[in-house]
Amino acid sequence: MKYSLIKNLLIELMLVSLLYIAAFALTFGLLMPAQRMVLPEFANYASILFLPHGVRVLTAWLFGLRAVLLLAPGGLLTHGFLHGTAGFSIDYFFAALFGIICATSTFWLFATMRMDFHRERAKTISWREILLAGSFASVINVAGTSYFYGSDIQSSSAYFIGDLGGLLACMVILMFGFRWIRRARP
């Protein structure tokens, strides 16, 4: 029994970490260079499609409080890649923690206000509820990271736009993926 639980947790941890790192790589390896050609004046590190936020929100929706543990490896690895050793100063480390906990804390906060959007309590998937929770998660993320990074209002606004754009993009990808799976079934 314990072995099975540990095995499932390790599978979830590897899957979420790989998805987070892949979303990060796609954002900074492909989307950001294209964005810089079209919008060169946009804020540093602010992608208008920050796909990792979509992974954070969907992970929190699917796994509840476990999402913090599942998101930590990918979140900290990508943060270290982006900022190097300076990324683990106290301020930058706390900024990374806000990114890791923002979605999970939002779903928890909503549940305490009797708006529990978690997957296991839903009769159907409500994309609007996930988008609402993702928007609030972005506000928490932007507030925390802006405080610890010392970002101005323009950068903070760009982070918010990027979080929402990334969440929407991930949701559209999932919607088409689910549609493709339904059509592929006999």
Q: How far is CA 87 from CA 10, 16, 18, 82, 95, in A?
A: 26, 22, 21, 8, 9
**CA distances for 144 relative to 32, 88, 179, angstroms:** 23, 15, 36
Higher pLDDT, 4 or 14: 14
The total number of structural domains that make up the chain: 1
- pLDDT band (50, 70, 90) for residue 29: very high
Q: Give the rounded percent of residues in the chain with a pLDDT score beyond 90.
A: 55
- The domain spanning residue 53 has which CATH number? 1.10.1760
Q: Shortest CA distance to 17 belongs to which of 74, 78, 95?
A: 74
Q: Which of the 8 DSSP states describes residue 55? A: H
Q: Per residue in 40-96, pLDDT tens?
A: 777 666 888 999 999 999 999 999 999 999 999 999 999 999 889 888 889 889 999
Count of alpha carbons within 13 angstroms of residue 86, beta-carbon side: 4
CA distance 145 to 134: 16
User: What per-residue confidence (pLDDT) applies to 68?
Assistant: 96
Residue 119 has pLDDT above 90, yes or no: no
Asked whether residue 163 carries a pLDDT value surpassing 70, the answer given is yes
Look-up of token digits 């802006």: 146
Provide the residue range defining the domain that includes 8.
2-184
